[in-house]
Amino acid sequence: MKVAVFSSKPYDEASLAAANGGRHELTFLEAHLNARTAPLAAGHDAVCAFVNDNLSAPVLEGLKGVKLLALRSAGFNHVDLAAAEQLGMAVVRVPAYSPYAVAEHAVALVLALNRNIHRAHNRIREGNFALDGLMGFDLHGRTVGVIGTGKIGAVFAGIMRGFGCKVLAHDVTVNPECEAAGVQYVKLAQLFAESDVISLHCPLTPMTRHLIDDAALSRMKNGVMLINTSRGALIDTRAVIAGLKSGRVGYLGLDVYEEEAELFFEDLSGQVLQDDIFARLTTFPNVLITGHQAFFTHEAVKNIAETTIGNITEFEATGQCANAVKLPR
Ligand code: NAI
């Protein structure tokens, strides 16, 4: 198939070319997919897109002749599935590539925030060896709340159990593996009220959008640590900034941000930051942000490329794909 690969970085090109082995004709495009860049897909059978590409109805309408949307991601909240179906486009994704990559990054945020590693690193470089302000807490014996115990949440819960934490979970379905590992399923209200650390691992849906808002924050412990490696819009950023200012939120670790499409994956260091809300977030000493890199391990990038090429090959051969995303009925 002829595939237009949008938002392509050198590491995408290297991993996809290696997985492809010459099977498909891949056109690597640095541009994000949007209404302006959609015509670049002319003459291609498939579009390969990443998390911050725009796959809304007007953009899909501009992808003339495209039969397949091959997502290089697990999440598909950025795709208008109804429009894709109407336009006769199949949508395929990479449902699992390394839950360990994302779960371990979430743990990295917990540890760094708790022990102020980001601040200590800066201090040492300036010759400041004072410890004031760097005191952490033992994770052992603390209560960790996990929202969404699918592939990533389950790995995260297991790691935190290994630290000796009590793990509470909330999900629309119970994961028996988590239960067997000693995770206790509770209502959201109890998870909010009892957790010292809360980590989000559920998908972004209309139901989970702004799951963490003013009301949710008001039910949490004072000084709670919030970790989001899932999707930015799970958190109402304005509410969490208010929570940081009041002290309700004691630590915030983010790998994703509501308006990240305008920022993440690009080097904008020579430009003036236009997003005042994001700028405010970066001023807090107890906020640690990474730019959607939780997935970024050798193993995950290789798996994403191999599954993506496998999806395209399967669709070309059979017109179907085991990793197709179906419109909820
Ligand atoms: P998964 O589908 O295995 O698990 C998601 C879990 O969330 C399921 O158990 C589901 O029942 C649960 N869930 C759905 N609605 C819920 C609700 N209203 N309340 C509580 N739980 C709910 O997905 P996986 O692979 O664990 O990924 C989780 C999320 O992580 C993805 O949706 C994606 O947004 C994000 N992600 C982020 C990456 C990064 O680099 N930062 C990379 C990969 C995924």
pLDDT tens by residue, 170-202: 999 999 999 999 999 999 999 999 999 999 999
pLDDT range class, residue 329, cuts 50, 70, 90: confident
Average pLDDT over residues 8-25: 97
CB 116 within 8 Å of CB 137: no
pLDDT digits (tens, 9 = 90+) for 143-173: 999 999 999 999 999 999 999 999 999 999 9
Average pLDDT over residues 82-92: 97
Report if residue 323 sits inside a domain.
no
pLDDT range class, residue 248, cuts 50, 70, 90: very high
Report if residue 233 sits inside a domain.
yes
Whether residue 116 sits in one domain with residue 236? yes
Please give the Cα distance from 204 to 189 (Å, whole number): 19
Counting every residue written for the chain, the total comes to: 329
Structure tokens at 132: 């004031």
Report if residue 326 sits inside a domain.
no
Whether residue 265 sits in one domain with residue 119? yes
Res 292: pLDDT:
96
Q: Which residues are catalytic?
A: 231, 260, 292
Q: How far does residue 148's CA lie from ligand 1's centre (Å)?
A: 6
* Res 296 pLDDT > 80: yes
Report if residue 196 sits inside a domain.
yes
Report if residue 253 sits inside a domain.
yes
Whether residue 116 sits in one domain with residue 238? yes
DSSP letters of 236-255?
Answer: -HHHHHHHHHHTSEEEEEES
DSSP 3-state percent helix, strand, coil across the chain (nearest 5): 35, 15, 45
| Enclosing domain of residue 113 | 99-289
pLDDT range class, residue 94, cuts 50, 70, 90: very high
Whether residue 120 sits in one domain with residue 75? no
Whether residue 186 sits in one domain with residue 84? no
Contacts of 228 (CB under 8 A, 6+ apart): 199, 200, 212, 234, 235, 253, 254, 255, 256
Whether residue 121 sits in one domain with residue 41? no
Whether residue 105 sits in one domain with residue 26? no
Q: Please choose from 51, 98, 102 the residue to mutate so as to test ligand 1's pocket, defined by most ligand atoms within 8 A of CB.
A: 102
Contacts of 295 (CB under 8 A, 6+ apart): 97, 98, 101, 102, 301, 304
Whether residue 229 sits in one domain with residue 134? yes
Looking at the chain, the whole-number percentage of residues with pLDDT higher than 70 is 100
pLDDT range class, residue 101, cuts 50, 70, 90: very high
Average pLDDT over residues 230-258: 98
Res 214: pLDDT:
98
Q: Which atom of ligand 1 is nearest to the CA of 175?
A: 9
Whether residue 54 sits in one domain with residue 15? yes
Res 253: pLDDT:
98
Q: What's the CATH code of the domain at 163? A: 3.40.50.720
Q: Which of 214, 207, 130, 195 is nearest to 157 (CA)?
A: 195
Res 135: pLDDT:
98
For the chain, report the end-to-end CA distance as a whole number of angstroms. 30
Whether residue 127 sits in one domain with residue 34? no
Please give the Cα distance from 206 to 223 (Å, whole number): 28
Whether residue 248 sits in one domain with residue 232? yes
Report if residue 328 sits inside a domain.
no
Q: Give the number of domains in the chain.
A: 2
Instruction: Name the average pLDDT for the chain.
Output: 97
Beta partners for 69?
Answer: 47, 91
Q: Which atom of ligand 1 is nearest to the CA of 231?
A: 34
Q: How far does residue 225's CA lie from ligand 1's centre (Å)?
A: 19
Beta partners for 4?
Answer: 27, 47
Looking at the chain, the whole-number percentage of residues with pLDDT higher than 90 is 98
Whether residue 137 sits in one domain with residue 284? yes
Q: How far does residue 203's CA lie from ligand 1's centre (Å)?
A: 4
Report if residue 143 sits inside a domain.
yes
Structure tokens at 295: 């997935």
pLDDT range class, residue 328, cuts 50, 70, 90: confident
Q: Which atom of ligand 1 is nearest to the CA of 296?
A: 40
Q: Which of 252, 205, 251 is nearest to 231 (CA)?
A: 205
DSSP letters of 37-67?
Answer: TGGGGTT-SEEEE-TTS-B-HHHHHT-TT--
